[in-house]
Chain A
Amino acid sequence: MKAAPRRPLPQVSDIETKPFWEGCARGEILLQRCLDCSAVRHPPSPICSGCLSSRLEWVPASGNATVYSFVVVHRAFHAAFEEDVPYVVAIVELEEGPHMLSNVVEVPPESVEIGMPLRVCFDCVSDEVTLPKFKPA
């Protein structure tokens, strides 16, 4: 029998993104907030793209979100996901404003719609890596 291909995992030790992935491991989504202009952002970046300040702090998100757009993957472009098709990839809008790419899980793909309220859930895929996913609220 052929060994299942390994799933791509994030580099959880990258300087910019390490706190984000550590937050996921603890069961929270962390966003960056600018200490100078208060803008909240994702994905993590060394500077605020509004005022260019590098004074950023990490703040927890509520975990509430809605579907901004979604697709149903019928043909996986990475072999590790072939066993999952059909599955949903979505751009979700967090309650705090920023968008994230994730999966909508625990619901049949045909029931997903734009605007659907979501609640974060955490998928612990290895000792180091926990992925934030979303299910219907």
Chain B
Amino acid sequence: MALPAYTTPLERIWHYTYLFICGLIFFFLIAPIVVIMPLSFNAVPFFTFTEEMLRLDPAGYSLKWYEDFFTSLNWQGAVNNSFIIAIFATLISTTLGTIAALGLSRADMPYKSVIMGILISPMIVPLIISAAGMYFFYTKIGLSSTHLGVILAHAALGTPFVVITVTATLVGFDHSLIRAAATLGASPVTTFFKIIVPLILPGVISGGLFAFITSFDEVVVVLFVGSYKQRTIPWQMFSGIREQISPTILAVATLLVIVSILLLCTMELLRRRGERLRGITPH
């Protein structure tokens, strides 16, 4: 946004004020996430910077909250549960979601918008309502406080993301490719794996990542459908904050931020690859 030479001084002042305001808003967005990182190395159980920390005195810093995280049974159980639940939920929602998206993007699909509306409703209904419904119903059929119950619930919550991303990938899909493969002698199965899958893979993976993070980050449903045995990282953080907040939570938070940075990079790479494959070059 370079300023043209004919701008008046007033416009110039406004322009810099505007940039300053934008800077403040970006600061508001990112600062809280950045601040917790150094705080997690605090040597004392405070949630603020001690004088030693501000003087960059090594004595003010410590890794003990990380040590606590890696040795505590509560937290390690939570890490295991989080991964088990998220991986299985992602597998279910990615498989079912991708297949359904293939059907939904066919031109001859009847009642498309109604079905789409129902399929993505888990994303729209407030989590507390989903959690309430699942809590009552899963208790009735004996699925509450089981890993299976939480996995099924999370899979349901994750599918809308898969359906949306894969359908979006299929919008630019050239259907003559399928006919081309068929005329060249490929069976439908070969066509699916050799032609369709490579083209929609970026959409499937990013939908899968959405589903994974939905489950990995979800806490309301776990709180109601699950119990201590199904505790996930967010569950443990939630009860930790409610009872006695210790800087271990900040250490966990820092590790989770690193995970989300990795996720963000993966998504960006996938987006670029997808654009390249479909012949859309970034401008």
Do they bind each other?
no
Instruction: Give the interface of B toward A (CB within 8 A).
Output: none
